[in-house]
């Protein structure tokens, strides 16, 4: 394959979709504008972000995952992306079924729990979420809301609503954009999550993602943030798994004895640039 023909995979985790680069080094000279162009849904391939598999610096890691949002900027971590990258590395023979890999947020462990063709169930480990802090945010309409701020590799602000229907009907883009840019989270901003308890340890949720600057069908780091915030708010039991039902599918979070995120990863197609 000539130097101008570089392979990519299109993947998704619960509808949170990515362009995966099996050989990240082949794209080493490209800048954020290039990656943003790839993610353009009308003029490019279309995706919420770009995943690159790169050689690991640490001998105990199978690879290094680099993640870029749809705006071309690099982000430290992506939960759904991490599951896709782990599945790709396993499918490519880069990593064993149980693996460790590097990210800008540190080393993560992952395991391919099952695989059927281009679909796998993957569990990824996370460091324990940072402390959960309640933040009172004034809103443009003159009201205020209390969000639960927590770092799960990237910052999240979780707003709990009264019911699953309130989550489904809220304007997640407008309100998410307002929370994302709130002065309390300046200058970096935050991701915004909207969630409601639907049954014991089960939550209905939506996420507005910083860097994508839009709602996505699912967010892995957001699911972990929602679980941590729910425990802090007294809405969930830490000792039991927390299910987070997002528009694109359901993610399972465990907080004890260690934090893990479990869900599907799917390869849709591959092509060349």
Active-site residues, by number, are 78, 219
What gap in Å lies between CA 252 and CA 263, rounded to an integer? 7
Phi, psi of 63 (to 5 degrees): -165, 175
**241 class by beta-carbon count within 10 Å (0-12 exposed, 13-18 middle, 19+ buried):** middle
**Cα 193 to chain centroid, rounded:** 12
Q: At 39, phi and psi to the nearest 5?
A: -80, -10
d(CA 91, CA 75): 24
CA angle 171–32–22, rounded 5-degree value: 100
Across 74-190, the runs of DSSP E, i.e. the strands, are 74-75, 98-103, 106-116, 119-126, 133-138, 144-151, 155-160
Q: Measure the CA–CA gap between 96 and 164, rounded to whole angstroms.
A: 39
Rounded Cα–Cα distance for residues 148 and 184 (Å): 12
Contact 67, 235 (CB under 8 A): no
The secondary structure of residue 127, as a DSSP letter, is P
Give the C-alpha distances (Å, rounded to integers) separating 50 from 19, 82, 130: 5, 11, 26
Q: How many residues does the chain have?
A: 273
């Amino acid at each position: 394959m000539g130097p101008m023909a570089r392979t990519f995979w299109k993947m998704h985790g619960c509808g949170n979709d990515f362009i995966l680069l099996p050989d990240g080094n082949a794209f080493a000279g490209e800048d954020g504008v290039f990656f943003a162009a790839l993610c353009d849904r009308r003029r490019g391939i279309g995706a919420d972000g770009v995943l690159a598999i790169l050689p690991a610096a640490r001998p105990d890691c199978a690879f290094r995952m680099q993640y870029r949002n749809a705006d071309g900027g690099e982000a430290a971590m992506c939960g759904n992306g991490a599951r896709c990258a782990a599945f790709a590395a396993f499918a490519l023979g880069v990593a064993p079924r149980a693996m460790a890999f590097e990210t800008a947020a540190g080393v993560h462990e992952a395991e391919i729990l099952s695989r059927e063709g281009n679909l796998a169930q993957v569990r990824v480990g996370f460091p324990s979420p940072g402390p959960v802090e309640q933040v009172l945010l004034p809103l443009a309409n003159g009201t205020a809301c209390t969000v639960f701020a927590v770092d799960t590799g990237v910052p999240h602000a979780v707003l709990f609503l009264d019911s699953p229907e309130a989550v489904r009907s809220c304007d997640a883009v407008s309100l998410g954009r307002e929370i994302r840019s709130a002065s309390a989270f300046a200058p970096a901003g935050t991701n915004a999550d909207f969630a409601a308890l639907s049954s014991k340890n089960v939550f209905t949720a939506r996420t507005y993602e910083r860097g994508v600057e839009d709602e996505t069908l699912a967010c892995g780091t957001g699911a972990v943030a929602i679980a941590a915030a729910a425990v802090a708010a007294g809405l969930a039991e830490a000792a039991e798994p927390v299910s987070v039902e997002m528009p694109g599918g359901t993610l399972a979070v465990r907080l004890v004895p260690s934090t893990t995120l479990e869900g599907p990863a799917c390869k849709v197609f591959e092509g060349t640039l």
